[in-house]
Chains A and B, each alone.
Chain A
Amino acid sequence: MSLTSKLFYAVSALVLFHSGFSSYEFHHLLKLNPPHNAQSASVITDLPKDIKYEVYVGLLLFILGVFTSFEKLQYLPIENNDGMIISQGNYLKEIALNKATNVNNLVGSNPNGEVIFSPSFVDVHAKRKITREWASNNEKKEK
């Protein structure tokens, strides 16, 4: 969350709290000093405009806070380990499937890997042999 959005949230919370407190005070005073006749009652019992406007401003600031809290979506590539961060410049994920899968192509992952890599049928001995050979080759190179 960016600093701007945090600022918006804080100010909007203060403004909304203040408008709520003002409304409470207004109603409390109204209870202590009830209007004497019906004509003045309809005018006085309405919430003052400044409190209403304060609520609107508070809500507006809150919405701005939500919008500015969005950050560009970022990803790390699956096979590279150099710390390079990838971004498409989008704030939200794509909805259409053909566009949404572009993220997978970009980071180099396959969402159907559980099926197509046949993980249940991995030949453990073959895998370990390849690793052993790689390790012994590395040792030879170091020598």
Chain B
Amino acid sequence: MSKNLVREKLLTIMNTKVYTQFNPEQLVELENELEIYLKSGDSGLTEGNYFFLMEMIFYVLVYLNQDVDAQVIYNTLRDRLGESSYKMVIMRATLLQINGDDKGAIEYLENLLKDDLEYETDFVTYVSIAKKLIAIKTSSKDLNQEAVLKELVALTDKFPLDAELWWYTGEIYFEMGQFEKSRYCLEQVLCITPFNYTCFARLSETLYYEALRSKKQGKLELLDKALKNALRSVELSELYLKGWALVNVISRELGRGNKNDLVKLSESKLKEISTKSNTKDKITAELILNKI
């Protein structure tokens, strides 16, 4: 197998952060693949990307409970890059977390934010560390959902251009069933990343659930908006499964029958996805088609 292909795959996993969603089996496979790849010495890998891959290995090892190896990776990176980078700070906080010292990690990050970063103009560092702080507080059950939301909203006030922050806030509102607020957050994400077709589909989904809950008059309007957003997502990505599934479901909810153009088109696209796309999407598309 060509090294170029493996490199591209690993860099895609690193850039899209999909490893944070992997199950344990996939994490073990990824760790093995990374180890073999880095040992093979690829001349096409830039130094910057090498460090990014090392950062990814660190988190994979943390998720796999291989604390000693994670500490070794952290030490290697620290010796090479120093401790001042926000990525290193977050890694150190993660190490404190896994050593059972959540309070220590919170204190460490809070001190950093209060002492230096509050007065610096480096907004990437501040917001990244503040996000990690919220994550630690959430996982250590220091904050309930409403308190988390309060902190998130305060942070979005301070940094309104962080898409991830808006997305996460939107997800929490969605879980709480506050679809209108969730919608607002997703719209903010779209203002920052206008070609984010996943977000268009999520917005459509939120509108759809909101429509199902609302009374007759507002329902049609919301469904219409949901359909437009679903169509926008597939306009940006031709074979996006969730987008086409939403187009189909919403069109039917709007009372359109099997002969409607949109219903027909979405079915044909779902059929195309069931033969052309990745394994997971293929199976899901088939399931949706069977249900339809």
Shortest Cβ distance from B93 into A: residue: A124
Stretch with Cβ within 8 A of B (4 or more), from A36-44, A45-53, A59-67, A108-116: A108-116
Q: What are 6 inter-chain pairs, A to B, with CB distance below 8 A? A: A75-B9, A77-B279, A98-B234, A105-B237, A117-B20, A120-B135
- Check: A126 CB closer than 8 A to any chain B CB: yes
B27–chain A nearest beta-carbon distance, Å: 7
Chain A residues whose CB sits within 8 angstroms of the CB of B24 once the complex forms: 130-131, 134-135
A105/B277 contact (C-beta < 8 A), A112-B199, A118-B171, A127-B63 known:
yes
Chain B residues whose CB sits within 8 angstroms of the CB of A113 once the complex forms: 15-18
CA distance A128 to B140 in the complex (A): 13
CB pair B281–A111 under 8 Å, yes or no, is no
- Check: B156 CB closer than 8 A to any chain A CB: no
Stretch with Cβ within 8 A of B (4 or more), from A3-11, A12-20, A21-29, A79-87: A79-87
Q: Main SS of chain A's interface residues? A: helix
A84–chain B nearest beta-carbon distance, Å: 9
CB pair A98–B238 under 8 Å, yes or no, is yes
Contact of A74 among B5, B13, B65, B134 (CB under 8 A): B5
Interface residues on A, range: 35 or more
Chain A residues whose CB sits within 8 angstroms of the CB of B276 once the complex forms: 106
- Check: A93 CB closer than 8 A to any chain B CB: no
CB pair A78–B18 under 8 Å, yes or no, is yes
Q: Main SS of chain B's interface residues? A: helix
Interface positions, chain B 1-43, Cβ under 8 Å from A, are 1-2, 5-6, 8-9, 12-13, 15-18, 20-21, 23-27, 29, 33
CB pair A76–B9 under 8 Å, yes or no, is yes
Stretch with Cβ within 8 A of A (4 or more), from B44-52, B73-81, B189-197: B189-197
Chain A residues whose CB sits within 8 angstroms of the CB of B189 once the complex forms: 115
Contact of B198 among A106, A112, A119, A122 (CB under 8 A): A112
CB pair A122–B12 under 8 Å, yes or no, is no
Chain B residues whose CB sits within 8 angstroms of the CB of A76 once the complex forms: 1, 5-6, 8-9
- Check: A31 CB closer than 8 A to any chain B CB: no
Please encode chain B, from 228 to 240, with 1 for each CB lying within 8 Å of some chain A CB and 0 for all others: 0000001111111
- Check: B219 CB closer than 8 A to any chain A CB: no
CA distance A136 to B238 in the complex (A): 42
B210–chain A nearest beta-carbon distance, Å: 20
Contact of B278 among A81, A108, A125, A128 (CB under 8 A): A108
CB pair B12–A78 under 8 Å, yes or no, is yes
CB pair B139–A123 under 8 Å, yes or no, is yes
A130–chain B nearest beta-carbon distance, Å: 6
Chain A residues whose CB sits within 8 angstroms of the CB of B64 once the complex forms: 131
A111/B167 contact (C-beta < 8 A), A97-B195, A126-B139, A127-B63 known:
no
